[in-house]
Amino acid sequence: MNFSYPSRLFEEAVNEFSSLPGIGKKTALRLVLHLLRQDKALIEKFGATVSRLASEIRYCRICMNMCNDDICPICADTRRDHSTICVVETVKDVMIIENTQQYRGVYHVLGGIISPMDGLGPADLHIASLEERVKKGNIKEVILALSATMEGDTTNYYIYRKLSPGKSVFSTLARGVSIGDELEYTDEITLGRSIVNRIPFEMK
């Protein structure tokens, strides 16, 4: 849909918003019109916050997690278990796992997974720095928490082959029936694996 924009700047703003994923021209138009109804100070704050993302967001030099400093708060936290590394694809995965409050180790963000279809090979990921961390020793366990897809499995296998001659134990996330799910609606492969990898029953 083409609009006759009343102002070039307005059109530019609509284009900026519609460049975001899942936001079309019509939604972008609505967002910009909404912004324009706000106080000037609020609009400026929005713009300034976005601009600051470019200059202030940095990545932890140990685990590649997003942060404001040289080292992220998780790597800097001495109360966490630095001998367990959870390998994830993205910064978002760190947030999701942190959100469960069940993990007290540290992370390593790969920045993606091996996916020849997307032109992503091992060299495009932060695998070398993971290797270095593991080689330095003192890493008891490496948890491979990648997607349960073919690409995830390929990446798991690649990392395992690359790092396994060391002393670390390798593990992956448990696969099985989701909590709250009925068996009827669980896919066959997951169900099959959850039988093979059944766990001792516990009264809680």
Binding residues (CB under 8 A) for a copy of itself: these are: 1-10, 12-13, 16, 19-23, 27, 29-36, 40-41, 43-57, 65-68, 72-74, 90-92, 94-96, 98-99
**Least Å distance between CB 24 and a copy of itself?**
12
Q: Which residue, 5 or 158, is less far from a copy of itself as judged by CB?
A: 5
C-alpha 169: how far from chain center:
23
Q: Which residue, 62 or 163, is less far from a copy of itself as judged by CB?
A: 62
Q: Angle of helix 150-163 relative to helix 127-135, nearest 10 degrees?
A: 40
Query: Residue 189 belongs to what H/E stretch?
Result: helix 188-196
What does DSSP assign to residue 177? P
**Least Å distance between CB 46 and a copy of itself?**
5
**Least Å distance between CB 40 and a copy of itself?**
4
Q: Which residue, 50 or 148, is less far from a copy of itself as judged by CB?
A: 50
Tokens (6 digits) for 35: 């912004």
**Least Å distance between CB 69 and a copy of itself?**
9
Measured between alpha carbons, how far is 141 from 167 in angstroms, rounded to an integer? Answer: 9
Q: Which residue, 40 or 79, is less far from a copy of itself as judged by CB?
A: 40
Which stretches within the chain are classed as H helix? 8-18, 25-36, 40-56, 73-76, 91-100, 127-135, 150-163, 188-196
